[in-house]
Structures are given as structure tokens and as C-alpha cells.
Amino acid sequence: MIEVAGEFLDRVWFGLILTLAAWVVAKGIERLLGRSPVANPILLSVLLIGAVLMSFSLSFESYRPGGELLTVLLGPAVVALALPIQRNFPVIRAQLFPLLTAILLGTVGGIAVTWVVALLFDVPAEILTALATKHATTPIAVQVAEGIGGSTALAAATTIVTGIIGAVSYLMIARLLRIKDRRLQGLALGTSAHVIGTAQGITDSPVTGAFSAAALPIAGVFTALLVPVFVPLLLP
Amino acid sequence: MSDISGQSTRPLLSLAEIAAGSAIICAFWGAGEIVSQMTGRFLPGPIAGMLLLVIALQLPFSAALLRLIEKPAQFLLTILPLLLVPIAAELLVSYQLLADHWLAVALALVIGWLVSFAVTAAVAHLLWRGRDSSHD
């Protein structure tokens, strides 16, 4: 037992330090660029990690154990999202029907338009399946993809990219569309960009974070319910 | 009782209280995993745990529960973006799966995200009754 743990711990430090150091540098770059939306710390950290691994010709496997140690903490961190939801619970309960309708239509609309664009470009069915699950949070997306016989790795990849797109651009788009109410911003962010968007929302404002966190599981449930029914019918 | 800055205002949470709060959060995570397994993994364990905690916070004894979990929960929320870095870093390997169709996939993802965001906000805006303006 002790030896197994020792072996694991020997391999953990590198990924841990690399992630933390990349985060520090990413936050520095974010400050330098004056909080420009393109300077998303998650995106920058990933690019920095990639640059370090490449310049020292290290495999991703040398990074992974340390990364997985942080991923474990994602469990309690997602549970902790109950806190901002609780603080906005009266509004959420009073407006439950409008919120559910908005999240449902946002989920369906997003999937439908994604598919139309992808079909115009004639992408293979394997990628189409992965695209259908991408608004749900990664574990849901992966499970749904598995259920309909799609590639889980592809589903995870499209989901992560979707989350980053949302985190990077939601403030800019909200300004463009004149969505000033942070509750609406959060709701739309959590529906369209799952936990990666929610993490950005919480950093920006507690209200955005709360509504994003509330939308997150609901959008996930809609995806889990609708995709297995409709995707097999619609696959070309 | 004084904290690190030497001020002796309201006592901070004791370590025992922080430990209790963290244990409660982990207990809801565990309960979420059990519920998730019983329902055929319909929802991931942590999300089921979050929903269970929201429900528990509506019950009569919730003031004490809220006080215990507040500090550790706030800490976890602060580090949430950092915790997502290793998951996002998986793209460094998996991007190759999308490389052959990168333009189509990029367009589909960007336009699909935009529509999802705009439709959600627009529908909520239309249906939301008695909306007052948010001030923070």
C-alpha cells in the first residue's frame, strides 16, 4: 500500500506545480492585458502547460497525475455551488417556470443550430454525435455520448471548447446584445457553457455565478433527456 | 480570541468548525454519488450532491448548516476555475480528434454557443414577471 502511494506521490508533484505556476503566470498576463476577455486564465493556463510540455519534450502522461489530484477536488467544489444558489433561492423559486422554459429553449436552440452548421459542412456522424452533448457539463456529456454510441473523447473535447468559448466571450456578447441584468447573463452562461462558464461567472460576480450554477444542472438534465431521443432520429 | 492580524473582533471559525463544514460538503458529495448510482448515473455525483445540499438548506435547521459550510464552500468556489485547468488541458491531447474538421467544428461550436446564450437570455427576459433591475 505505502509503496503504491509513494509511486503515485512521486509522479504528482510535477503536474501540481505546473498547473499552479501556469495559473499564476496566466493571472499575471490577464492583468497585463487589462482583463481582456481573450485573456481567460483557464485558456491561458492550458496554453502555458502545453508550451512547457512541448519545449521540454515531455509527454502529457507526466502531467496527468498531478492534474488528477486537482480534479478530485472538483467534486466538493461543485457541491459548494449550492451556496450561491441558496443566496438567490427566493428569486429562483419565484421564477421557476420562466427559468426552466428559457433553459430548455436555450439548450434545444443551441444544439439545433450547432447541427445545422455542422451539417452544412458535411462533418462525419461521429463528430455530429459529439456536438449534440456539448452544452451539458463534461461528465453528463460523456455519459450521454456513451449512451448513444458516440465517442466519449470527442464529446469531452467539444464540451470543453464550448465552455471556454462561453467563458471567454459571454461578457462581450452580453454587452453587444444589451443584456445588462447579471441574473440573465448567469442563466444564459450556465445553460450554454456549463461549469467552465460558471467558474468564470463566479469570478465576475456572485449573482452571475449563482444563476449560472442554478442553470447548470437543469441544462444537463435537458441534454440527458433529449439527446438520446432525438439524435438517433436525426443522424443522416 | 484574536486572529492573525491581532484584531480581537468577532472570533473566526475554529478549525473544528472548518473541518465540520468540509466534512458536511464531502458528505453531500458522497450522498450525491450514491443517488447518482441509484438513478443509473443520470446526473454526475457532485451535481446530485449540490442539488441535495440546496434542498437541505431549505429545511428548518439550515441556519446552522449554512454557517458551517459557508467558509469552506467559499474557498472551494474561489479555486473552482483553477480546478478546471487539468480537465481543459486534456484538449492538448484530444484536439487532434477535431483537427480534420476544425473549421466546421469551430464555426458550429461558436455559433451554437451564441444561439444558446442569446435564446436563454431572451426567453428569460420575456417571461420573467415583475423583474426589477439588478444593482450589483
Q: What is the pLDDT of residues B86-123, one digit of tens each?
A: 999 989 988 888 888 999 999 999 999 999 999 999 99
Buried b (16+ CB within 10 A) or exposed e, A140-159: bbbbbbeebebbbbbbbbbb
- Among B residues 11-30, those touching chain A with beta carbons less than 8 Å apart: 22, 25-26, 28-29
Instruction: Please give the average per-residue pLDDT across B26-36, as a whole number.
Output: 96
Query: B118 to chain A: which residues are within 8 Å by CB?
Result: 173, 177, 188
Q: Which residues of chain A have pLDDT under 70?
A: 1-9, 35, 37, 236
CB B115 within 8 A of CB A90: no
Tens digits of per-residue pLDDT, A121-157? 988 888 888 888 888 888 788 878 877 878 888 888 9
Our measurement of the distance from residue A96's CA atom to the centroid of its chain's CA atoms, rounded to an integer in Å, reads 23
- Among B residues 107-136, those touching chain A with beta carbons less than 8 Å apart: 107-125, 127-129, 131, 133-134, 136
Nearest CA distance, B89 vs chain A (angstrom): 5
Query: A89 to chain B: which residues are within 8 Å by CB?
Result: 54, 57-58
How far apart, in whole angstroms, are the C-alpha atoms of residue A131 and residue A109? 13
Q: What is the pLDDT of residue B86?
A: 92
> In terms of C-beta density within 10 A (0-12 exposed, 13-18 middle, 19 or more buried), how is residue B110 classed?
middle
How far apart, in whole angstroms, are the C-alpha atoms of residue A164 and residue A32? 20
Tell me the three cell numbers of residue A137. 457539463
Tell me whether residues A115 and B108 touch, CB distance under 8 A.
yes
ipTM: 0.90
Query: B99 to chain A: which residues are within 8 Å by CB?
Result: none
Tens digits of per-residue pLDDT, B51-78? 999 999 999 889 999 999 999 999 999 9
DSSP character string of A170-184? HHHHHHHTT---HHH
How far apart, in whole angstroms, are the C-alpha atoms of residue A54 and residue A48? 10
Range in A132-146, B13-27, B38-52 with the lowest mean pLDDT: A132-146
Question: Percent helix, strand, coil in chain B (nearest 5)?
Answer: 70, 0, 30
Query: Cα angle at A230 between A224 and A234, to 5 degrees?
Result: 140
